[in-house]
């Protein structure tokens, strides 16, 4: 019986696509052999094909009746390899400007940020925004349900979804079943690997590395039922933080504040207040109708603050004091004596 659930809210209006989150995660968790190609945190430009390539078309999750949908395992090249670069030649080769940084060996066909900053729409209404993604630590995890070894489990005390490497035999049914394609295969150890929601940090009262290191202050963290937390206010009270692709049926616990956009320009170059630069149909395809409702709430609260009134919602989103974002997980990691196991 699940007792509590940790959750993250990402405000897409603040993400600048700097990838600090991805690097913070890589530095901490996926530097060792077998994990070189893994990016448990990715940041893709939307509209875009994403990581792994075209992941939204790879199936998995559950249909409206709760039945498992067929999926397929992403190929390694669809995630992108851990490329080798000619760093030594460029930095220590003594050839000055005659040599450029390039991938060694076979030319890459895809990678985590392959279509970065391309976006969509027709000029002058072209647009893009960034979409950071981690495992959603779902309430109804398709990965867990698909594993015949019961190697994936959800912790009762905080809802974190983990892989038990001692039980995992590397069958990869989880990779097939996860509709967000957020599980990687570690060929070195023959097991599945995924985001652990920075469990060792969280257990000591420290927010996840991807949240704490984010210079854009995009990520809120905390228990969903903690009424004092920003997560609770954004998800439960104001309902402006919504899951990505709720129709996948897994009940994600990562939520997004959808991106605001200016009005579209008409053929005379004037703003058309009836149309948004980011088409509503596109936003609905990502976040459902709840995403559009969230934007309407945001717009109404912004109007209030412009008129000089206060707004709990806008103050929560601005978070002048960074520690307000982390639902009590604001301990300074440098004060902890970390012991390597
Ligand atoms: Fe966006 Fe923050 Fe990640 Fe930078 S660190 S890409 S601002 S979520
Ligand atoms: Fe499992 Fe995928 Fe949900 Fe993560 S996002 S808990 S890997 S189904
Ligand atoms: Fe990586 Fe931790 Fe963020 Fe998961 S929560 S993506 S493990 S930094």
Measure Cα distances from 311 to 133, 200, 302, 317 in Å. Answer: 28, 35, 8, 10
Instruction: Cite the DSSP H helix spans in the chain.
Output: 20-29, 76-79, 87-92, 142-146, 173-177, 199-202, 209-212, 230-232, 280-306, 312-318
Q: Say if strands 161-163 and 152-154 run parallel, antiparallel, or are unpaired.
A: antiparallel
Q: Which residue, judged by its Cα, is nearest atom 5 of ligand 3? A: 197
In the chain, the percentage of residues whose pLDDT exceeds 90 is 95
Q: Could you tell me if the CB of 311 is within 6 A of ligand 2?
A: no
Whole-angstrom distance, CA of residue 95 vs CA of residue 115:
31
Tell me how far apart the 2 most distant CA atoms of the chain are, in Å.
65
Is residue 137 within 8 Å of residue 6, measured between CB atoms? Answer: yes
Cis ω for the linkage preceding 52 (within 30 of 0)? yes
Centre of ligand 3 from the C-alpha of residue 263, in Å: 35
DSSP states of 135-184: ----SS-HHHHH-TT--EEE-TTT--EEE-TTT-----HHHHH-TT---E
How many other CB atoms are found less than 10 A from the CB of residue 160? 21
Kindly provide the b/e burial profile for residues 307-332, where b requires at least 16 CB atoms within 10 angstroms of the residue's own CB. Answer: eeeebebeebbebeeeebbbbebbee
Helix, strand, or coil (residue 223): strand
Alpha carbons 126 and 120: distance in angstroms, whole number: 6
Q: Is pLDDT at 1 greater than 90 in this prediction?
A: no
The residue contributing the CA closest to ligand 3 atom 1 is: 25
Q: What is the pLDDT of residues 75-121, one digit of tens each?
A: 999 999 999 999 999 999 888 889 999 999 989 999 999 999 999 99
Report which of 132, 131, 76 is spatially closest to residue 108, judged by C-alpha positions: 76
Residue 143 has a pLDDT of 98
pLDDT at 35: 97
Q: Which ligand is nearest to the CA of 197?
A: 3
- Residue 210 CA, ligand 1 centroid: distance in Å: 8
For 111-152, write each residue's pLDDT tens digit.
Answer: 999 999 999 999 999 999 999 999 999 999 999 999 999 999
pTM: 0.96
**pLDDT in the model for residue 4:** 97
Q: For residue 198, give the ligand 3 atom closest to its CA.
A: 2
pLDDT at 341 over 80: no
Which ligand 2 atom sits nearest the alpha carbon of residue 154? Answer: 6
- Regarding the beta carbon of 133 and ligand 2, being less than 6 Å apart is answered no
Q: How confident is the model at residue 55 (pLDDT cuts 50, 70, 90)?
A: very high
* The CA-based dihedral angle spanning residues 221, 237, 2, 170, taken in that order and rounded to the nearest 10 degrees: -50
In ligand 1, which atom is closest to the CA atom of 19? 6
Q: 6-86+109-335: what CATH class?
A: alpha beta
Q: What is the mean pLDDT of the chain?
A: 96
Confidence class of residue 297 from pLDDT cuts 50, 70 and 90? Answer: very high
Q: Which of 132, 196, 208 to mutate to test the pocket of ligand 3 (most atoms within 8 A of CB)?
A: 208
Query: Is 8's C-beta closer than 6 angstroms to any atom of ligand 1?
Result: no
Short-list 203, 201, 151, 153, CA closest to 172: 151
- pLDDT surpasses 90 at 339: no
Contact between 166 and 13 (Cβ < 8 Å): no
In short, whether 195's Cβ falls inside 6 Å of ligand 3 is yes
Report the distance separating Cα 10 and Cα 194, nearest Å.
19
Q: Would you kindly state where each structural domain of the chain is located, as residue ranges?
A: 6-86+109-335
Q: What is the pLDDT of residues 195-244, one digit of tens each?
A: 999 999 999 999 999 999 999 999 999 999 999 999 999 999 999 999 99
């Amino acid at each position: 019986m699940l007792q509590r659930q940790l959750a993250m809210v990402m405000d897409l209006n603040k993400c600048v696509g700097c990838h600090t989150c991805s690097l913070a995660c890589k530095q901490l968790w996926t530097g060792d052999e077998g994990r070189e190609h893994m990016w448990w945190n990715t940041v893709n430009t939307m509209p875009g094909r994403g990581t792994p390539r075209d992941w939204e078309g790879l199936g998995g999750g559950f249909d409206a009746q709760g039945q498992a949908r067929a999926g397929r395992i992403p190929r390694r090249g669809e995630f992108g390899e851990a490329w080798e670069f000619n760093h030594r030649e460029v930095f220590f080769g003594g050839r000055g400007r005659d040599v450029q940084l390039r991938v060694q060996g076979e030319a890459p066909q895809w990678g985590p940020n392959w279509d970065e900053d391309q976006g969509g729409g027709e000029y002058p209404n072209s647009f893009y925004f960034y979409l950071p993604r981690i495992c959603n630590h779902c309430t109804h995890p398709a990965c867990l349900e698909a594993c015949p070894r019961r190697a994936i489990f959800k912790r009762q005390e905080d809802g974190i979804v983990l892989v038990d490497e001692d039980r995992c035999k590397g069958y990869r049914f989880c990779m097939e079943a996860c509709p967000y394609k957020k599980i990687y295969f570690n060929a070195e150890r023959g097991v599945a690997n995924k985001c652990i929601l920075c469990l060792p940090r969280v257990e000591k009262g420290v927010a996840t590395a991807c949240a704490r290191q984010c210079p854009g202050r995009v990520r809120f963290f905390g228990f969903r039922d903690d009424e004092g937390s920003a997560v609770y206010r954004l998800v439960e009270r104001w309902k402006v933080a919504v899951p990505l692709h709720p129709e996948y049926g897994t009940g994600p616990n990562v939520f997004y504040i959808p991106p605001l956009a200016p009005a579209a320009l008409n053929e005379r170059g004037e703003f058309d207040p009836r149309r948004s630069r980011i088409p509503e149909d596109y936003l609905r395809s990502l976040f459902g109708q709840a995403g559009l409702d969230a934007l309407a709430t945001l717009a109404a609260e912004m109007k209030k603050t412009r008129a000089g009134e206060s707004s709990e919602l806008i103050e929560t989103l601005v978070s002048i004091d960074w520690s307000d974002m982390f639902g009590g997980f604001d301990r300074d990691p440098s004060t902890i004596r970390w012991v390597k196991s």
